[in-house]
Amino acid sequence: MKITYYGHASLGIEVGGKNIIVDPFITGNPQAAAIDINALKADYILLTHAHGDHVLDVEAIAKNTNAVIVSNAEIATYYANKGFNSHPMNHGGSWKFDFGRVKYVNAIHSSSFPDGSYGGNPGGFVIEGEHKNIYIAGDTALTYDMKLIPLRTKLDLAILPIGNNFTMDVEDAIIASDFVECDKILGYHFDTFGYIEINHEESIRKFFDKGKDLMLLPIGESLEL
């Protein structure tokens, strides 16, 4: 499994011979100017919620790739009504796709489209594939629901927001990593704008002091599990 960071909360995942894009907000992010969305491959687009900084490039990428949009029922229906391929899910449900199993799990946040349309309830994803399992938290507060994840799935990586103000901060993300029983963390949803700027060295040190590994990938770089 290969995971590429496209800035903010945008990810590319290669797993089981398929390409997945998560929460594409690229063209609106000056820090991701080197990423060409027209060059991205996508069999699936996973969306945690409907905010503009998570869905900005969905339609452009879906038009280019004919990708299946996977999200909650409201978001999937929103795009299906525009003629896009979609797969609706809801909290606690899972589905076996051709790259692995995906479960839609709870997140505490808000969710509405930039045009004001209702975006359903926000969520995160647990992906089980190629003998490696990951948790993509989405935008969320720290929640006890995270403790449910390791009851079903042993994680190899947890992808957690750490930017504070709109989501968890670093300290809460450390607790979240305890809840999901995973000490290997990829941080995201930070530095895109002033409200969520972080001190990189301090954040890494705080995780290290708890015996955990926080990775902060430069935009465009990847890690492999």
Mean pLDDT (whole number) for 86-114:
98
For the stretch 125-136, pLDDT in tens is 999 998 899 999
- Mean pLDDT (the chain) is 98
11: closest CA among 148, 160, 142? 160
CB contact at 8 A, 3 and 87: no
Categorise residue 130: left if φ over 0, alpha if ψ from -120 to 50, beta otherwise.
left
Q: Which residues contact 23 (CB under 8 A, 6 or more apart)?
A: 8, 9, 10, 11, 46, 47, 48, 54, 55, 138
What is the pLDDT at residue 171?
98
103: closest CA among 170, 165, 65, 152? 152
Residue 219 pLDDT greater than 90, yes or no:
yes
Residue 197 pLDDT greater than 90, yes or no:
yes
- Say if strands 123-129 and 132-136 run parallel, antiparallel, or are unpaired: antiparallel
For the stretch 148-157, pLDDT in tens is 999 999 999 9
For the stretch 58-87, pLDDT in tens is 999 999 999 999 999 999 999 999 999 999
CA 64 from centre of chain: 21
DSSP H/E element including 91: none
For the stretch 26-57, pLDDT in tens is 999 999 999 999 999 999 999 999 999 999 99
